[in-house]
Amino acid sequence: MSTWLSALRRMQQESVSAVLVTVAQIQGSTPREPGARMLYTAEGQFDTIGGGHLEWRAAQIARAMLAADSDALADQRRLERIALGPSLGQCCGGVVFLCFERIDAGATSLRTWQALEQAWCSGTDRWRALPLDHDAPQQLLENDASGLGMPPEIIRHARQTQLVRDDQGRRWLLDLCRAHQPQVVLFGAGHVGAAIVKVLSTLPCRVLWVDEREDMFPPGLPPQIRIEATDVPNAAVDMAEPGAYYLVMTHSHALDQQLSERILKREDAAWFGLIGSITKRKQFEHRLSERGFSAAQLERMTCPIGIPGIYGKEPASIAIAVVAQLMQLWELRFTQPKPKAWPLSLATHALDGRG
């Protein structure tokens, strides 16, 4: 699936008009959270706001806006309240407020989306401020909306996309565009590595993908996937940010060991996973302990990788198990905003079956 932002940038480069649909606010039980987005064009859609009749109704509105081809504000930006009840054939029972904005090709608009994409790729959050009651252009904000006639703390205290009013009573969509976080550093561009990257490319994370064989990398990767084709993959360990998640699955056990040594020497790694069996783990533990690595350091190595209960050897099966494991670790990390230290050993033991 192509992300809405990558698709939007491509649509603008090709001078194709589109409608961006954003979940602006919710009440009760709904399929998606505020900030979920989907892009419509006359030919298709990208990403999802929850599927079913909700998307069907959103598609109707979006395509009507595209067909109108009007400069009237109602055909450019609009807010719709949609109840998820019997009239839509859904039983969620909640209410979704959807923001629709028509986006046509233009240099100013393109620069805005490019700036957002660059911020995302560098791991920086941005707020998108879109006026709903007047036709001023959208703005990208960091942490202050006071220049738009809003209290300065409104962004600092907010945690999600929301509808707000300025000091003149006009409505705005304040859309939190979270960056691609965290960073995954993956060594190995073989079948399993490629399958994992395919899944990670659909999630809010950034990937540094490393291999010695440049011809192994597929074309057309999204911007949050960065390729490093190098004769010295060990050096890429030091390129990673503090708090990165490492995955090692190269074509060579000797290289796997070299990378393991380099990663275990980093005290700021969030997690390190090594593909292989329990036998491989024992061999590596023996070799690394002979090279001076302590038991505490070896505890930080997860091998085998992947959540328990998925035992298929197909690349796609391994990818699902490994990405699920990463997502569990991310949930653990982001539901504990300021942990005293990374719970490496506990998380590692729980997820590779040792505890």
CA distance 337 to 320: 26
3-state secondary structure of 245: strand
Q: What ranges make up the beta strands (E) of 68-170?
A: 77-83, 95-103, 126-131, 139-141, 162-165
Which has the closest alpha carbon to 123: 24, 18, 226, 215?
226
Q: What residue segments make up the domains of the chain, in order of their start? A: 4-103, 114-177, 183-351
Neighbouring residues of 140: CB distance < 8 A, sequence distance ≥ 6? 112, 115, 116, 119, 126, 127, 128, 129
- pLDDT (tens, 9 = 90+) of the chain, 355 residues, equals 347 888 888 888 888 999 999 999 999 888 889 999 999 998 888 988 988 888 999 999 999 999 997 788 888 999 999 988 766 666 667 899 999 999 987 767 778 888 888 887 777 889 999 999 988 889 998 888 888 888 877 887 778 899 999 999 999 999 998 876 789 999 999 999 999 999 999 888 899 999 999 999 999 888 889 999 999 999 999 989 889 999 999 999 999 999 999 999 999 999 999 999 999 999 999 999 999 999 999 999 999 999 999 989 999 999 999 999 999 999 887 666 544 444 444 445 444 544 4
**Token pair in block for residue 285:** 């533990």
152 preceded by a cis bond (ω within 30 of 0): no
Which has the closest alpha carbon to 170: 129, 211, 231?
129
The CATH number for 183-351, chosen from 3.30.930.10, 3.50.50.60, 3.40.50.720, 3.40.50.970, is 3.40.50.720
| Prediction pTM value | 0.68
3-state secondary structure of 178: coil
CA distance 172 to 165: 6
